[in-house]
Structure 1
């Protein structure tokens, strides 16, 4: 027998078996059972139908981690719409590109971010705009109130759906040009959520704290996994260490996801208070991803916080999660437990992750031979939205049929993958991808800049941050007709805040090859001297 794998099954199951159980603790203090969450999702489905949304139409969601995001997502799924979550750290021009590229029909935007959408509404194809508090939104155009429209009716017709149909489009950060829409199907989302449930040991007894943005590949699949298994969502509107520790204790949080940056914030709070109680009545496990956290971080989280830290790895295009270093049978037999945990680890169930050289051959498991990480699995994306050439390249560069991660790595004798460097010029700062190309283009647009190269440099706070090397038009740093602060202000008017360079160094010239290509590796070498490798912890 074959039953279609549909993301609507997650909320359907929760309503069937956990209807009277608490499902969500809202940022507004409200508490909702699964019956109540489901009813509000139904109300959003009915409202979208009244607004003319059909199966396959795109519905964008711009929201921090509130209950509204969950309701809008499932309300969209239930009518066959395509959920298109937006990064709330972007600027209006970024939203203009994404809404136009995806031809979005409806936008729901939290009141704190609705103004950004309001400024571009005449330049995008979107016709319907929804927010959760018009009085606080500082908008001028016509907006619908979320609570009003979901209360009008819960009647809607659910269309037939196939597991191979697109259910969500997640936009990348535009690290190699314009942002790319990563198309994910019911099948890829469902299987990824099941893999996460197994490897992160999710159960109906879990209380999950939303420190991970829901827009990040649908919260790494946790909008599905926590819901389908009947766990409890505890929502947030941002990262505040004192509040996080208080909430973990008061809500008996058992599970959260935290980028290395968030772990650093929590450790700083812990140290400044001389130690605080880090758990409620439940033991806590925390998943972290991206570049590996330092061994000292893992040691602090496990030995002082008393949490179990799960290090995972992936990308928007891969679900995201494809590997884990939480491999107890290997860790318990090792004298270097924390050293192993910081590696990216081994492949998830149903996932083939390997490292190949430039000819497509697998590198030996010797911990020395470097190649690119490639993967194939049921959680890997279907394609890039309207970008067939980029899709073809992503699956055929070194070896056909595998998605190419762009990370260079080695494999140890037990099959543990460990990233050494990055193939592309991507900066990962605080868990956010920053395109060095985009930042270079922005700096080039200033009349006083003759040449520029941007690289990642070590950052205690963010893991790594962008630094720009600028050759002024005077060709002499001592007589530059522009200052570092002026260039930073120039960038602030054109880029999201997290993309702004933290440092600008004026130089006479940039190192180049005989063919004129900038040797960024040479710049990185000087900045990362004394570090274990030229990859940050962001």
Structure 2
């Protein structure tokens, strides 16, 4: 038989089997069972329905990781309305573009960020405006809790089809206007299934929401954690001391963290005497650039946490690979670092390939570089009202595969290792240089806190590697090391043509909300006076 795969099943299951168990620890200090969380979602469904919102309409959520986000998301999706989470670090102009592009009908916005919506209110099609604290927001906003109280819990849930779009996640827009990634009930459900398996999510987990819920629905965890009936600890921001305290106080067993969050945790740990775990063993997932060996060693050997490196993109669910291949390493041995630094093996039901310019698979020699392409049930339906971009994303080198834009090698075990973004590869004197390899090398220097390497103009070579370094002491004016020492540090460890040629000390690197370094900002400044970049990055 065939049963439709619907995202509403996740909360339905939690209510059926774990109704009287604690579901959410709210940032307000309140605690909700799954029955209580479900009733609040029902009331939001009823409130939206009373305001004319129905199946296929878009409902935006602008919120840090609070219980309101979960309630608004499920309250929308129970109506078949399309959940559209927004990055709370965007500007009012960004919100105007997205709300208009998506044709958003209703929005829930946390009071801390609602002012940016109010600033563009008259320019967007949105008609329903709800916030957690209307007294703190200028303009005519309804209060979330008052709306729930007035609504009652009865609503009409429409018949839904697994092929219908149910979430709309906007890309960061680093190379142009943001694009709305359409995800169906089916893609969201199957992604949540494989996340549950590969991240070993169980009903006795205590999950700490350090990863933004808006980011591809928190890597799908708003579905996976809920569906398994696990406990969710909400946050309003990232603070290393608070994270350690909460891990202990709530017996957290699982969390996700961008590389920048890992660095924050390590910096705090090294400067204080902290307890790193409660009664539960802790595991942590990180994504993005490969974590340096020193990071993995500190997290696992000193924190006592188990680290898994995962990989993906907004368009792919996001997660498509994992480094958690325990038959390839022993937990206590140093050989685990070579594996855990790799993006890894494809998830179940996911086909990962690395292909050359002709669309042919590169050899498993861990040297030949190609582009990562992926095919799987968790990959997006396409871009919202943008068929041209959709066609390009699925048909560049290989027809029918989503093209990640990342360059990688493949080892004998089939594990991929990202070498660079296509636009970040440095072409110096005809040689391809991986900015990631240079960053990993510089990160090993004790005076380097964080680093980003980009191509910079060179009269002789066309372009050459330049490093932007945040000193370990945080002071770019007195970094504790000079540029020539760092240049020599790379020269001693890498082939001569790969050597960093220029170094600039900075107080911070531009990053996205999820901690990814925005190299395009650094490149834009560096190439402002040039007609083009050699590598067109």
Q: Aligned ranges for residues 279-290 of structure 1 at < 5 Å?
A: 279-290=277-288
Structure 2 equivalent of residue 527 of structure 1: none
* Cα offsets for 1:352-397 (capped at 9, x unmatched): 0010000000000000010000000000000100000110110110
Residue 261 of structure 1 contacts residue 461 of structure 1 at CA under 8 Å; is this kept in 2?
Answer: no
Distance 1:367 1:508, change over 3 A: closer
SS of equivalent to 1:105: strand
Cα distance, 1:505 vs structure 2: 7.0
Q: Which runs of 5+ in 2 are unaligned?
A: 426-434, 440-451, 455-462, 473-507, 511-515
Distance 1:108 1:509, change over 3 A: closer
Q: Aligned ranges for residues 436-515 of structure 1 at < 5 Å?
A: 457-460=467-470, 510=530
Residue 264 of structure 1 contacts residue 461 of structure 1 at CA under 8 Å; is this kept in 2?
Answer: no
Aligned residues: 463
Choose the corresponding residue for 2:534, options 512, 519, 524.
519
Structure 2 equivalent of residue 481 of structure 1: none
Choose the corresponding residue for 1:315, options 313, 316, 321.
313
Cα distance, 1:498 vs structure 2: 8.6
* Cα offsets for 1:133-173 (capped at 9, x unmatched): 01223x2x211100011112111000000000000000001
Structure 1 equivalent of residue 177 of structure 2: 178
Quote the Cα distance in structure 2 between the aligned partners of 1:24 and 1:374: 37
Residue 206 of structure 2 contacts residue 230 of structure 2 at CA under 8 Å; is this kept in 1?
Answer: yes
Quote the Cα distance in structure 1 between the aligned partners of 2:338 and 2:526: 38
Quote the Cα distance in structure 2 between the aligned partners of 1:504 and 1:188: 35
Quote the Cα distance in structure 2 between the aligned partners of 1:276 and 1:176: 41
Quote the Cα distance in structure 2 between the aligned partners of 1:163 and 1:99: 25
Q: Which runs of 5+ in 1 are unaligned?
A: 437-452, 463-487, 492-496, 511-515, 525-538
Quote the Cα distance in structure 2 between the aligned partners of 1:25 and 1:391: 39
Residue 316 of structure 2 contacts residue 379 of structure 2 at CA under 8 Å; is this kept in 1?
Answer: yes
* Cα offsets for 1:52-105 (capped at 9, x unmatched): 001100000000000000000000010010000000000000000000000000
Residue 527 of structure 2 contacts residue 533 of structure 2 at CA under 8 Å; is this kept in 1?
Answer: no
SS of equivalent to 2:49: helix
Q: Aligned ranges for residues 103-502 of structure 1 at < 5 Å?
A: 103-137=103-137, 139=138, 141-152=139-150, 153-273=152-272, 275-332=273-330, 336-424=335-423, 457-460=467-470
SS of equivalent to 1:79: coil
Distance 1:252 1:461, change over 3 A: farther
Distance 1:506 1:313, change over 3 A: closer
* Cα offsets for 1:280-326 (capped at 9, x unmatched): 00000000001111111011000000000010000000000000001
Quote the Cα distance in structure 1 between the aligned partners of 2:223 and 2:471: 31
Quote the Cα distance in structure 2 between the aligned partners of 1:87 and 1:201: 28
Structure 2 equivalent of residue 450 of structure 1: none
Structure 1 equivalent of residue 493 of structure 2: none
Residue 129 of structure 1 contacts residue 143 of structure 1 at CA under 8 Å; is this kept in 2?
Answer: yes
How does the TM-score come out when normalised to structure 2? 0.82
Cα distance, 1:454 vs structure 2: 13
Aligned-pair RMSD on alpha carbons? 2.8
Distance 1:112 1:415, change over 3 A: same
Residue 43 of structure 1 contacts residue 155 of structure 1 at CA under 8 Å; is this kept in 2?
Answer: yes
